[in-house]
Amino acid sequence: KEALTLNGEEIEKLREDLSSKIKESNIGAYVEQLTNKEVTTSSDGIPIAIKDIINVKNWNITCCSNILQGYVSPYDATVIKNLRNSGLSPFGRTNMDEFAMGSSTDSSCYGKTLNPHNPNKTAGGSSGGSAAAVAAGIAVAALGTDTGGSVRQPAAYCGCVGMKPTYGRVSRYGVTAYSSSLDQVGPITQNVEDAAILYDIISGHDPLDSTSANVDYTPVTPNLNSERKLKIAVIDNFVEQASDEIKQGFEKAVKALEAAGHEIVHKNMLDTDKILSSYYIVATAEASANLSRFDGVRYGNRKGEGGLKDMYTQTKSQGFGQEVQKRILLGSFVLSSGYYDAYYIKAQKVRHLIKDEYENIFKDADLILSPVAPTTAPEFGSFKTSLEMYLSDIYTISVNLAGLPAISLPVDKNSEGMPIGLQLIGRAYNEQTLFDGALALE
């Protein structure tokens, strides 16, 4: 909000300050420091950091993968056009898990991003670079993408605000697809009001994205109201699975909300293991289709000289990291004939069930309050298997499966000073209530 009031010279000064902070920073939040005026084109815009999965004309875009080294974006994503039209400009590429697959930003081909609160801990993922940059003050705000929590979870681990809009609210045009029916771009900011401002700037119908919702859009920022009294649901069987420190932060927040005159109602939902299975089938199935384009022909660092098959094999096995290859295999498996009905169709049915369960809760509540992750930011290397990492997504992925908006914000710190984040989940297309609730919790 403050940056919006700056004039041309002051913005120039801000860009210079951030530039030198980025150089000094050792948290690995940045993939590349793109501050060259010719490259950024609008030198006078308020600088916003951009995850390395969103196309910015004339910038490198690699999705933090070796397979895309050297690829230059031929066009701006719609969200970038929207930023430019509002006096903001892309400034710096932020680190992420390769192709947004992960929860820790340590699967990037550029190396890991450290949590600014403690360098032994992860910044979360996959938009860990964006969250770390905002938390460390080397970016005033950033854009990330959220397929199963990748904006909200790193924001929670780093102590900033991360918001995932309703599916279809923000254009995906120019955003490299991981799982097309789940992906949404969202702001990562220092406070709720900044998130609302950035959300308003990037939202709205886009004819270039066939999944963009053609619904009425009223900006939320002019109508922000922290005084609204809301009915907030708590999903008891979800909260039970959190660590003690998260539970304590949660209880404290519930008490504060009650004391401020909000009504709390208690609910239950489908087991988290069913939600987890549904997500990792849908997401990997879509990823296996989306990533097939990186074959060395149109995209990708071409490798292999023994004919077409060798080129495909070498390009993909040398270009993609381990986690990405694992997901392509899993996704191809659940879509293959013989397993399609047993896995993919079943996962889609569970997805519908999840949506119905949320709709039921919203018959009796304005918002849902939930943890963002079962723990605060984990130490590097604390997940021994992929499954352990996947289990840390239990609170975020159902929101994407149901297409709902949600916002994560810091509410407390643990005894080591690590941020504790909680999320509010709202009804589809009702971001106004979501932001109002977040202001009450902030």
Closer residue to ligand GLN in complex, CB, 88/334: 334
The 3-class SS string of 228-258 reads CCCEEEEEHHHHCCCCHHHHHHHHHHHHHHH
- Minimum CB separation of residue 346 from ligand GLN in Å reads 19
Tell me if residue 86 is catalytic: no
51 is catalytic: yes
For tokens 């994407």, name the residue: 400
In the set 108, 126, 171, 203, the catalytic residue is 126
CA atoms within 13 A on the CB side of 31: 32
List the beta bridge partners of residue 114: 122
Judged by CB under 6 A, the residue of 30, 178, 343, 358 near ligand GLN is 178
Among 89, 105, 107, 150, binds ligand GLN (CB under 6 A): 150
* Residue 437, SS3 per DSSP: helix
Q: How far is the CB of 149 from ligand GLN (least distance, A)?
A: 5
For residue 100, what is the enclosing H or E element?
A: none
Is 332 an annotated catalytic residue?
Answer: no
Give the nearest distance from C-beta 400 to ligand GLN in angstroms: 7
The answer to whether the beta carbons of residues 331 and 139 sit under 8 Å apart is no
CA–CA gap between residue 205 and residue 436 (Å, rounded): 23
Q: Which range binds ligand GLN by CB under 6 A, 135-143, 148-156, 204-212, 314-322?
A: 148-156
In the stretch 377-396, what mask flags binding to ligand GLN with x, by CB under 6 A?
----------------x---
Measured from each CB, the residue nearest to ligand GLN is 150
| Contact positions with ligand GLN (CB under 6 A) in 213-252 | none
Which CB, 45 or 149, lies closer to ligand GLN? 149
Does 154 bind ligand GLN (CB under 6 A)? Our answer is no
Q: Is 322 exposed, middle or buried (0-12, 13-18, 19+ CB in 10 A)?
A: exposed
- Mapping DSSP to helix (H, G, I), strand (E, B) and coil, where does residue 50 land? strand
The alpha helices in 52-188, defined as continuous H runs, are 78-85, 128-135, 152-158
How many residues sit in the footprint of ligand GLN (CB under 6 A)? 13
- List the one residue from 18, 56, 63, 100 that touches ligand GLN (CB under 6 A): 100
Torsion angle, alpha carbons of 158, 272, 353, 429, to 10: -10
Binding flag, residue 106, ligand GLN (CB under 6 A): no
Could you tell me which stretch among 96-104, 269-277, 331-339, 357-365 binds ligand GLN (CB under 6 A)? 96-104
Give the per-residue contact string, 108-147, with ligand GLN (x = CB under 6 A; - = no).
Answer: ------------------x-------------------xx
CA distance 128 to 389: 15
DSSP string, 359-426: HHHHTS-SEEEEESSSSSSPBTT---SHHHHHHTTTTTHHHHHHT--EEEEEEEE-TTS-EEEEEEEE
Q: Which of 130, 150, 203, 408 is catalytic?
A: 150
Residues at the site binding ligand GLN, with contacts judged by CB under 6 A: 100-103, 126, 146-150, 178, 283, 393
Q: State the catalytic residues.
A: 51, 126, 150
